[in-house]
Structure 1
Amino acid sequence: MSHVHSNCCLTFTARITSKPRNHNQHHNHHLLHLSLFPPNSSTVSRKRGITFRASLDNPLPPISLDQTNPFQLIPASDIVRNFYGGINRHDLASVEPLIAPNCVYEDLVFPSPFVGRKSILEFFGKFIDYVSTDLQFVIDAISEEDSTTVGVTWHLEWKGRPFPFSKGCSFYRLGIKNGIRQIIYARDSVEPAIKPGESALIAIRGVTWLLQRFPKLAEWI
């Protein structure tokens, strides 16, 4: 099993206020941005958040800020990064504490959600049994500002090359219990291998027409 190491990107913002010399002058505010970027990393600041681009050369970290309570102070987005990092390393032991005991995980490829930490870990256990560590999740963009919900777009790469039909987007809801932030709900939507294009719109129009003509059919949905 190969282990990957990560580079972190931290941005600090401080507001410096200078006192006015007289009553007619206003306070002068200056924003001081201190950024720490690792070599070969790529981070794009946006008005509504930060886009983080990870690659095999810049993989995701297991972060621990407080050894006595390691997940209490970590931002929600970093909890999600750690989740993908653990799956990439095939390290379910590091993934387990990130998932709430009663978490619900919806992978839209499957007919029903996985309910509970044990069921979710069993699913990912089967996943890593089928693939090698050469197949990696790569985060294209991740939302940063919210401490309770995180959105992610991602794709898979095989030895640094994009894997076919592997683009996806995921949504995570996080909660805090006993001072620990964990994933309590997740949903994955993955790129389909067969892309119907405009025929999907025709199918939707056909279904809505049937529902309008025969309202009782809605009971079967």
Structure 2
Amino acid sequence: MLLNSTITPLCSVHCRIPDLPNVFTKALPYSTTLTATGKGSFTSRTLIKVSSSSENQAAVFDVASQPHDEGAAEEVVRRFYDGINRRDLASVEPLIAEKCVYEDLIFPRPFVGREEILGFFKSFIDSISKDLQFVIDDISAEDSSAVGVTWHLEWKGKAFPFSKGCSFYRLQMVDGKSYGRDVVEPAIKPGKAALGAIRAVTWVLQQFPQLADQL
């Protein structure tokens, strides 16, 4: 399965986080297009495009053989976040295609290929504390053609400032491999500066843990 996803920057000054803009609104965080052959079932080469805009990022993942059921897209998303939360890139790697394209719109160019994408995720993981975790607030699974997700970040169980996000995955049955993107590109592309901002906030919380009580 190829998962194309547009992600929003985590805690940037603009407050839009990786996975998740406002579903059903202009600030739609993740707009996903799932490509599959056959009617009603997804093949091992299903293409899922996720567009997220909370300060917008776009990503593409290729997932190897997903279950042929309506919950396949939901499961991919859950597995991805679980791997990132555990800082386990080994579990994330199988979700990314060899020739996958990951577009993070806070960066000037997309990350192309599994190796480059994993390098980006490694930089992301190395930039934040393990105490900072993605938490899925709600995820839809009833519709086989669309999946909506709302999430936020938590620091040691407490909500992290400016970290709420929402993603919408739209699945579409098509022939071949293609995907569409529905994301509003930010005028400013802070790039690694966004990771620096996250690192700075987590460092402050590590030095002054009592501040976490004020979150």
TM-score by length of 2: 0.44
The structure with the greater share of residues assigned to strand is: 1
- The structure whose Rg is larger is 1
